[in-house]
């Protein structure tokens, strides 16, 4: 479990990051009608413009700054975005980085990892298998392990996004958040607490939090589908589970078709080139899975942009 004090500590620690590593990403405030939504305002937090192409840079830099670093460097298992963020943070701090990615990870993400100087190991059909291989390697090398979503520093770092939203525009009535392993929703729910309604969104093909809620505890689930490279964790993280049990009332499932349609809208109408995981918020609104009040201010977290651009053709 983390809380606002952990996020405030992360905000202080991240001031020690190399100059220019983290960006204050734009927040667009649009009338709901601009997206065909019956809400007063829709806020698009454009975190896909963050260093490394996703919100993950916040948590990974926070983790590296909070722990001692040695010549062994850092190591991570990732579908792509956490690895890219770890590699970017490691390069900024001048340490080596090794990243284990599953076979489902797109070549665009592997290419970016190599450009950042990371040693890339492709192993396992899904994230969980890459993670087990990563753990074995970490025990052999002693490198600092960064977890894609289930370490206090990583979740607290993600929570700084909530603090940034509040500083830019105040507290929205609701925040719609894509969920994989839960690092992002854990951080945002810990920051906003009950001041804003934080809503968990998952693909029907990767329902880790939804199934955990049905079972009353985290459980393994089969994952596949359009957003599996980013939202492909087969079990919700323990930190996210604890935070969401306390702070998040709604967990919704979305079809791959609705996610693809929302992603197309973000590109065709707003020229936002994002990965499928970044489109779940709009998909929830377009599909009617989430129905805001007429006076509601809804914030959508546009969380990542690491994908093959030809997918938008």
DSSP sequence for 183-241:
HHHHHHHHHHTTSSEEEEEEETT--HHHHHHHHTS-------STTHHHH--SS--HHHH
- Return the pLDDT at 107: 85
* Structure tokens given for 245: 């049990």
Domain ranges of the chain: 23-54+158-312, 56-146
Q: How far apart are CA 116 and CA 153, in angstroms?
A: 22
Q: How far apart are CA 313 and CA 184, in angstroms?
A: 29
What does residue 273 show for φ and ψ, rounded to 5 degrees?
-90, 105
Q: How far apart are CA 89 and CA 97, in angstroms?
A: 9
Q: Which residue numbers in the chain have pLDDT < 50? A: none
What does residue 241 show for φ and ψ, rounded to 5 degrees?
-60, -50
252 vs 178, 213, 287, CA distance in Å? 10, 11, 11
Local structure of 305: helix, strand or coil:
coil
- Return the pLDDT at 164: 98
H-helix or E-strand containing 287?
helix 280-287
CATH of region 56-146: 3.40.50.1100
* Structure tokens given for 174: 């609701």
One fold for both 23-54+158-312 and 56-146?
A: yes
- Return the pLDDT at 309: 77
Return the residue matching tokens 């809620």: 213
- Return the pLDDT at 313: 63
Fold classification of 23-54+158-312 is Rossmann fold (3.40.50)
User: For residue 130, how many other CB atoms are within 10 A of its CB?
Assistant: 28
Local structure of 290: helix, strand or coil:
coil
Q: pTM value? A: 0.95
């Amino acid at each position: 479990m983390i809380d606002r004090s952990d996020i405030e500590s992360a905000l202080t620690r991240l001031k020690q990051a190399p100059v220019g590593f983290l960006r204050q990403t734009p927040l667009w405030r649009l009338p709901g009608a601009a997206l065909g939504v019956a809400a007063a305002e829709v806020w698009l937090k454009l975190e896909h413009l963050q260093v490394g192409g996703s919100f993950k840079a916040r948590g990974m830099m926070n983790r590296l700054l909070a722990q001692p670093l040695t010549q062994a460097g850092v190591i991570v298992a990732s579908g792509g975005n956490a690895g890219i963020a770890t590699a970017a943070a490691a390069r900024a701090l001048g340490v080596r980085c090794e990243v284990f990615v599953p076979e489902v990870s797109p070549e665009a993400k592997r290419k970016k990892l190599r450009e950042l100087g990371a040693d890339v190991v492709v192993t396992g059909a899904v994230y969980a298998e890459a993670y087990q291989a990563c753990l074995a390697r970490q025990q052999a090398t002693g490198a600092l392990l960064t977890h894609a979503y289930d370490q206090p520093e990583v979740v607290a770092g993600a929570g700084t996004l909530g603090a940034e939203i509040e500083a830019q525009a105040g507290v929205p009535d609701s925040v719609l958040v894509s969920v994989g392993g839960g690092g992002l929703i854990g951080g945002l729910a810990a920051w906003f607490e009950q001041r804003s309604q934080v809503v968990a969104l998952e693909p029907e093909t990767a329902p880790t939090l939804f199934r955990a809620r049905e079972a009353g505890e985290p459980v393994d689930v089969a994952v596949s589908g359009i957003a599996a490279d980013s939202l492909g964790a087969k079990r919700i993280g323990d930190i996210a589970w604890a935070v969401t049990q306390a702070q998040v009332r709604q967990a919704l499932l979305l079809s791959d078709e609705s996610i693809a349609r929302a992603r197309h809208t973000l590109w065709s109408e707003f020229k936002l080139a994002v990965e499928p995981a970044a489109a779940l918020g709009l998909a929830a609104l377009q599909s009617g899975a989430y129905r805001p009040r007429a006076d509601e201010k809804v914030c959508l977290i546009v969380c990542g942009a690491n994908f093959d651009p030809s997918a938008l053709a």
